[in-house]
Amino acid sequence: MNTNALPHSLPPLVLSAEVRDALAQGRAVVALESTIITHGMPWPQNVETARQVENLVRAEGGVPATIAIIAGKIHVGLDDSTLEWLGTARDVMKVSRADLAYALSAARHGSTTVAATMICAQLAGIRVFATGGIGGVHRGVEETMDISADLTEFARTPVAVVCAGAKALLDLPRTLEFLETQGVPVVGYETNDFPAFWSRSSGLPVPLRADSAKDIASMIAMRTTLGLEGGVVVANPVPQVSEIPRAEMETFITQAVEEARRDGITGKAVTPYLLSRMLELTAGRSLETNIALVLNNARLATHIALALSGKA
């Protein structure tokens, strides 16, 4: 059977020298996403945090690989000026699986969501990725059917994602059910509870528990050995000193959700609205907690990557 295949070509990947050398040497590389820079945090905290995260990965013995789309190329490892530019850039697409090929073929700029970062990490040969929180099932899903493409990506792409659970604005019980239906492992690190982003516990049990980065690395390696498709959610609670307890957060979330309804906020505008209300209602503590949990996740991700590379 003949096909209309175009001449085979390589994915448009641009690796920084640091990342390229690290991968060639089999060192511990940790992928980092860029939506947190363009959409997740205000300037200048977004750029400062991105730099802090990269330095923390290096300090722990790994190599950071922040991923973004620049002029139609997938950049893996960003230089400082690009990071700075991203922190205030306009006309940057938020790129998920569905948008990736479009952003590349149309030569656009884009920041990558959890789903798209998983795909790009996999293309570059990176197996561990640190972020803040993954997407999930949205509150009100029974009306909207709004479920993040991050969740189906975990059923497909073999990358382990270290996170503080899913954002507590989401419907966490249903997010866990959806992941279970998709056959996705959710492993709590040193916890029996699924974390709730700003809070150490959602009150829901986490399906699996591991107490060392090495155990998590063994599980990831076993998935490769078995040839299982898909990734792993590593749920890492924010350090106690930085958490906002769940009872407190739930009050704010309930209030913000009601305000959003009252103000007629719908669709894609809901999450940014709620996040900015969280910032106000917590008098800025939600952002501090967010920064703390991202750093905490980068540390664990580096330890897992070191264990996978046989360097820990």
User: Where on the chain is the footprint of Mn ion (CB under 5 A)?
Assistant: 146
Catalytic site residue 180? no
Count the Cβ atoms, other than its own, within 10 Å of residue 230.
18
Active-site residue, from 54, 153, 167, 243 = 167
Pick the binder of its own copies from 127, 139, 277, 299 (CB under 8 A).
Answer: 127
114 labeled part of a ligand binding site:
yes
Name the minimum Å distance from CB 107 to its own copies: 10
Q: Does 218 bind its own copies (CB under 8 A)?
A: yes
Place of tokens 């059923």: 155
Give the whole-angstrom CA distance, residue 72 versus residue 103. Answer: 6
Q: At what angle do helices 285-308 and 213-226 cross, to 10 degrees?
A: 60
**Interface residues for its own copies in 63-102 (CB under 8 A)?**
96-102
Binding partner selected for residue 61 from Mn ion, its own copies, none, CB under the kind-specific 5 to 8 Å limit: none
Catalytic site residue 214? no
Name the minimum Å distance from CB 126 to its own copies: 7
Binding partner selected for residue 269 from its own copies, Mn ion, none, CB under the kind-specific 5 to 8 Å limit: none
From 80-88, 204-212, 270-278, 279-287, span contacting its own copies (CB under 8 A)? 204-212
150 labeled part of a ligand binding site:
yes
Pick the binder of its own copies from 55, 105, 254, 255 (CB under 8 A).
Answer: 105
Total chain residues near its own copies (CB under 8 A): 80
What is the three-class DSSP state of 42?
coil
DSSP symbol at 6:
P
Pick the binder of its own copies from 16, 23, 37, 297 (CB under 8 A).
Answer: 23
The two beta strands, 199-205 and 160-163, are unpaired
Contacts for 265 with CB less than 8 Å, ≥ 6 apart: 273
Name the minimum Å distance from CB 254 to its own copies: 19
Contacts for 190 with CB less than 8 Å, ≥ 6 apart: 209, 210, 211, 237
Both ends of the chain: CA-CA distance in Å?
A: 49
Nearer to its own copies, 149 or 281 (CB): 149
Segments of the chain assigned E as strands: 13-15, 29-32, 63-70, 73-76, 93-95, 110-112, 128-130, 160-163, 186-189, 193-196, 199-205, 208-210, 232-235
The two beta strands, 232-235 and 160-163, are parallel
What track of x and - describes contact with its own copies for positions 249 through 288 (by CB under 8 A)?
----------------------------------------
* Binding-site positions for substrate: 94, 114, 148-150
Catalytically active residues are 33, 167
